[in-house]
Amino acid sequence: MDLEFYDGASTGQQIDEAVQKGIIVINCGTISSLPFTKNNANILESHHVLHADIDTPYAYGGGWSWSTSNGSVTISGKIVGSTTLTLYLGRAAQSI
């Protein structure tokens, strides 16, 4: 069996950008007021919220929006009571 190996130069940061930070799961814990910001170095400005698991659906008061920046995601809108929230963030490998 012949094996081929990539012999180009890659840095750990390039690998993180391309692979490890592709899709991430953010456990926001229990939230009871908005806006809410979760900080984590793995969140990039290029991430988008793909899915949100809201444990208590009636807590969704409407108009939720998401914004990402390097190091954080912020949820805005209206919340009724409290809920646990898990966000699934992803980024495009390429745009066409």
Q: Which among 56, 49, 51 has a CA at the least distance from the CA of 31?
A: 56
**pLDDT tens across the length of the chain (96 residues):** 566 655 555 555 655 555 556 788 999 999 999 999 999 998 989 899 999 999 999 999 889 999 999 999 999 999 999 999 999 999 876 666
Upper half-sphere CA count for residue 27 (Cβ side, 13 Å): 1
Please report, for the chain, the start and end positions of each structural domain, with discontinuous segments joined by +.
Answer: 12-90
CB atoms within 10 A of CB 5: 5
The 8-class DSSP code of residue 48 comes to: E
For CA atoms 28, 75, 23, 6, give the dihedral sign. Answer: negative
Q: Which among 24, 81, 29 has a CA at the least distance from the CA of 57?
A: 81
